Structures are given as C-alpha cells and as structure tokens.
Amino acid sequence: MQSAGGPRNVTDKVKKELAEEHPSTALFREYLRIRSMHPEPDYDGIVNFLEKVASELDLKCQKLEFSKGRVITILTWEGTSPHLKSIVLNSHSDVVPVFEEHWNTDPFAAHKDEEGNIYARGAQDMKCVTIQYIEAIRKLKAEGKRLPRTVHLTVVPDEEIGGYKGMEIFVKQPEFRALNAGFALDEGLANPSDQFTVFYGEKCIWWFTVHSVGSPGHGSRFIENTAAAKLFKVINSLMEFREQEKQRLESDPRLTLGDVTTVNLTKLGGGVAYNVIPSELTATFDLRIPPTMDLKAFGDKLQNWCRSAGEEVTLEFHQKSMLQKVTSTDESDPWWKAFRAPCRELNLSLKPEIFPAATDSRYIREAGVPAIGFSPMNRTPILLHDHNEYLNEQVFLTGIDIYTRIITSLASVDPLPDEC
C-alpha cells in the first residue's frame, strides 16, 4: 500500500527536477508528452503548444488548414531585409505508433534516466529538431540579434503517413510561395559515429502490388499456368535484383544505403481453401530507388518481368514517386557554403548522403527550394520508429548551439544575383 505522503512526495520530486532542469530540456520533454501519434494524433495539442511558444518569443504565428484537422503552423521571425529569400526550418509534429509492451518506460512520459537519456516516441524523429529550432531562435533573440533574411519555422502534420495532407498540399499553395523560400532545413538521422550525416537528396518510393491471374483447380493435380507459378517468376526476378543491389552495396565501401535500390516483399495475398488452387494471387513490394536511377527504364524492366511471367500478370501502383531533385553540395553553391561554414568552425565532420527513405524534403525540393536533411545527433544509435527511442540531453543541447550557428549563417547569406 502506498503511504499517504507518497503521491505528494512524487509530485514534489518532479517539481524539483523541473526547477533544476535546463529550460530547453524542459520544453523538449513537454513537447514529447503531446500524444501526436497515429492514427489519432493530438494536433490540437501541438498547435496550442506552438501558439504559446510564438507568444513567448514574439513571433508571428500563422495557421493554415488545407485538409480538415491537419493544421500547418508557421512561426515567423522577420529579417531586417524581408525582401530577400527566406530560410525555412521545417519539421513534422506527428509520430509513429508504439508497442508499449516493448518499452521500458511510458513512451509519452519523456522519462530521463541518470545518464541524461530522454526516452519518448519522437525523441529522435523529430520533435528534438523542432525544439532545437525554437531554442536557437530564442537564444539569438535574447542576444539581441537581428538577421537579414526572414526565418520561417514550418511545423507540418502527417509526414509519417506520406505527407499527402501536409507538405505535399502545402507546397502547391500560394501561402507557400508567399514564404519566398530560398533554402530549407529538414530532418536527418542520428549517426552512431563522431560524424554528422547530411542528406542532400532522397530515394523515390515505389509501392506496388503484382496481380497474377491463372488457372484454378483441385489441389491434387498438376495444373498448368497457375497464378502461383507466374507470380513466383516475378518474385524471383525482383529478389534476384535485390541480391544484386545488396552485393553492390557490400562490395563498394564508397556506397551507402542511399545509393542502391532496396527491394522488400511486404505482403502476400490470395487463396480460398487448402485444397483449391486459387485463380488469383498477389504480392506487394516496397522499393526505395536512388535519384541516380533511370526511373523510366526501371519501370519498363518491371513491366518486362511481368510480361515474361505470362499473361494476366499486372502491376498496381500504390505510390510511385518520380521526384529526383537533389540539393547542390558544391563548394561554389552559396547555400551549401553557408551551411558548411559554421560546421567547419565547430569542427563538425559532415557525411553527405542520399536519405535511404523519404521525408518532406522531397516536396520542398520539387517546389524549387533546395533543402538539406540534418538532425545534429552524433554518437547516437539510430532509433527512429524503434522501441525505447531516446536522445541524450547533452546531444540535444549541443544541437541547439549548432543550429544557432547554422541559422545565423544561412539567414546572413549576401543578396544573390536574382535578389538584387
């Protein structure tokens, strides 16, 4: 039985902890406690939180709703030369579901252990970055800084389920064009080494189902031209290609996961009974294709594999991204130079890569705005979407200092030729 003073003592302990905690960490943990988890994210809680922050920092707060219940929140810090192209600091507020039985703590309690590790869904992906943006601006404003270029913090919904009601819609609206964006930052990944990974492009997602229709019959016979026999041919072709890409990655140390195509069979469907050969079977695949691939030629290859398997073998695409724009990492590029310069000053070792999955950056780039994916988390295991996702407090706080320097540099880029 709990003593009468137990609950009060626990509360007192929490209050003391919060009073002694770094205010940036406290804000981070407050944000993590908002259950913005699919399938029913608390987007109202997110918006209320951001409105409060905007009020504290005297930032303009704009709320846009292009799809019911999916609010895009924009916090704006106007620059001294607002006619110049702006800097967009993008993040998403939604997080993926959790399997609580596999967590050591409540995934929405934002528990911090004795080593300073903060456990919560979204700790790495990507609520940390949202708060780091906010706290970097708070620090700059407290120092009395004013930057030439306007800075917009865009917090968007539904990235974890494709961004179709978030960034994909937003970039097509006049409100996005009104931001006058010149360059954007978005999420990256943790890096277990001393390096910081920087993503200048990302893969195209192709999700499709192979439908195979064939001759049905009794399970005791050798039926020809079955759905299964034809489907296996397509599966084998895709899995052989998968092995080729895997071997290519493993044999060339210069390549990363973002440079090769990943192929995974994710669903099998069909059949009606143990003793009936079905007339139709399906197989669903998840492919992530690097921007260096000739997508038309690869699409033709997929169709050829289906045709060679036999008649009535077809593809149904659920997602077929053709967005292949990448951001320049050439030393002559003014935006890349402005991003890299403070990293060099801080002795950060950067590792430019193609993002192995997909983020909202693909929509931003397709809208004509160069974007870099960057989450300042080194010496940190990659735990996005994993059980017991965490981020160390010191890594989080260091990231604020890094962003402070990067935002200052980007928002101070001299007027470009098309801005004069």
Instruction: Please state, in angstroms and rounded to a whole number, the distance separating the CA atoms of residues 313 and 238.
Output: 14
Query: Can you tell me the distance from the alpha carbon of 373 to that of 362, in angstroms, rounded to the nearest whole number?
Result: 10
Q: Is the Cα torsion angle 81, 82, 86, 88 positive or negative in sign?
A: positive
Contact (Cβ atoms closer than 8 angstroms) between residue 196 and residue 348 = yes
Catalytic site includes residue 353? no
In the beta sheet, which residues pair with residue 208? 285, 317
Among 125, 135, 158, 159, the one annotated catalytic: 159
- Tokens 């309690």 belong to 109
Residue 217's region, left for phi above 0, alpha for psi from -120 to 50, else beta, is: left
Strands (E), 1-69: 60-67
Q: Is 106 a catalytic residue?
A: no
- Of 186, 66, 85, 64, the C-alpha closest to 420 is 85
Distances (CA, A) of 114 to 118, 208, 355, 399: 10, 46, 33, 20
Q: Are 231 and 281 in contact (CB under 8 A)?
A: yes
Q: Are strands 111-112 and 117-119 parallel, antiparallel or unpaired?
A: antiparallel
Q: Which residues does the annotation mark as catalytic?
A: 94, 159
